[in-house]
Amino acid sequence: MKVAFAKPYLGHEEAQYAYDTILTSWVTQGPKVQEFEEKFAQRTGAKYATAVSNCTTALHLAMIVAGIQAGDEVICPSMSYIATANCIRYVGATPVFAEVNEDYNIDPNDVIAKITPKTKAILIVHQMGMPADIDAFKTICEQHHLQLIEDAACAIGSSYKGKPIGQHSDLVCFSFHPRKVITTGDGGMITTNRPDYDKRLKILRQHGMSVNDRARHEAKDLIFEDYEEVGYNYRMTDIQAAVGIKQLERLDWFIEQRHQTAKWYKEELNEIPHLQLPSHNEDFFTTYQSYSVLLKKGFPIERDALMRALHQRGIATRRGIVLIHQQIAYQQEFSSVALPHSEYLSNQSILLPMYVGLTQAEIQYVCNTLKEIIQTIPSFS
Ligand SMILES: *Cc1c(COP(=O)(O)O)cnc(C)c1O
């Protein structure tokens, strides 16, 4: 048996939605993008949503709208995808890396310890879909007059204290890359409750243009656009948005399927000593965008050896999230950064196959294989 690590779930309906859109001949940002934004805002409970080309461009615009500039510091975790920190550097600011907790999410206490007079914002990440403790960070931001930005790339469908991620703060960025919970090929979204932010985001994503193509097209009278500031082309296409609309319709089912998979894993792997499974509760409702297990002290086989053994038996896994400050692009400047707990979690964790469409038989094969590998190690059996 061969088990893939991740796969997007795309069906005939997505193809049909894209097909129908292509035949309208409106293929770039237009009515489908607007419909997707409205439905996305509704689903997340946010007042407004702005679709963009991916989550990295969403984060870049969030930095600009939050007023982050050269010389400023933004606190974020090092245990995240590299785009989290790259977007801070795009505006000339400096990422300040904070430690994470047991749940792989940024630690509020370490954030407080890292605030300086240059700190302007905290960029929290809902890692693998697990919500960070948003209220704790809101309090810190109020006390220290900082902006809160959420990297919710993996968290469409997650909720915090009973309310969906997307409505809790003023700049929340989502990803629709195929590795995330819903996909448009590539794509991103920013939700906000502030009308001024919404307006500026929609101008910045299309070259700083004062009126969008559709408004101009539909206007009864002749209207000319102005370019109010230096903007970007970070648009989503209507073809992508059409796919996104269908994916959003499937979201509840996707989340159910992922939770079912996590339940199966838990039933099979719970008894293995020194193996820590992800935690989950209703206040921190996760999407299980990834399923990460931690090999604790006493676990009988090293992480990479386990991955290799699984690979030899047809099972694809990934190492835990690598740390940004250890990447070549960051290494030199951030050589003095010490984040022992992040390092421990990064080095000792492994991501198991997790996607919609993974069968119970496949999960059983993964779990049985893992148990067999452990049992062949003499000191353990
Ligand atoms: C995937 C991911 C991103 C980047 O998303 P793109 O849509 O690929 O640009 C940013 N942050 C986190 C935490 C991610 O997981």
Atom of ligand 1 nearest to the CA of 126: 13
Q: What is the pLDDT of residue 121?
A: 98
Specify whether the CB–CB gap between 171 and 192 falls below 8 A.
yes
Nearest to 54 by CA among 123, 131, 153, 156: 153
DSSP-derived 3-state class of residue 277: coil
The overall average pLDDT reported for the chain is 96
Q: Is the CB of 177 under 6 A from ligand 1?
A: yes
Q: Where are the domains of the chain?
A: 12-250, 252-375
DSSP-derived 3-state class of residue 51: strand
Q: Which residue's CA is minimally distant from atom 1 of ligand 1?
A: 153
Q: What is the pLDDT of residue 230?
A: 96
Q: What is the pLDDT of residue 322?
A: 97
Q: Which residue's CA is minimally distant from atom 6 of ligand 1?
A: 55
Q: Where are the alpha helices (DSSP H) in the chain?
A: 12-23, 31-44, 55-65, 83-90, 108-113, 134-144, 195-204, 213-218, 238-249, 251-269, 303-312, 328-331, 340-348, 360-375
Bridge partners of 281?
Answer: 284
Specify whether the CB–CB gap between 166 and 300 falls below 8 A.
no
Q: What is the pLDDT of residue 380?
A: 53
Question: Cα separation of 238 and 225, whole Å?
Answer: 21
Q: What is the pLDDT of residue 381?
A: 46
Instruction: Say whether domain 252-375 belongs to CATH 3.40.50.2000.
Output: no
> Both tokens of residue 52?
């963009």
Series of mean pLDDT values for 10-residue runs along the chain (381 residues): 97 98 96 98 98 98 98 98 98 98 96 98 98 98 98 98 98 98 98 98 96 82 90 98 98 98 97 94 96 96 97 97 98 97 98 97 98 82 46
* Angle, CA 86 vertex, CA 205 and CA 66 arms, to 5°: 50
DSSP-derived 3-state class of residue 125: strand
Q: Is the CB of 125 under 6 A from ligand 1?
A: yes
- Examine the residue annotation and report whether 180 is marked as an active-site residue of this protein: yes
- In this structure, which CATH number among 3.40.640.10, 3.20.10.10, 3.30.479.30, 3.40.50.11540 belongs to the domain 12-250? 3.40.640.10
Query: Which H or E run contains 294?
Result: strand 291-295
Specify whether the CB–CB gap between 241 and 33 falls below 8 A.
yes
Q: Is the CB of 183 under 6 A from ligand 1?
A: no
Q: What is the pLDDT of residue 30?
A: 95
Specify whether the CB–CB gap between 294 and 275 falls below 8 A.
yes
Q: Is the CB of 147 under 6 A from ligand 1?
A: no
Q: What is the pLDDT of residue 167?
A: 98
Atom of ligand 1 nearest to the CA of 58: 9
Specify whether the CB–CB gap between 152 and 158 falls below 8 A.
yes
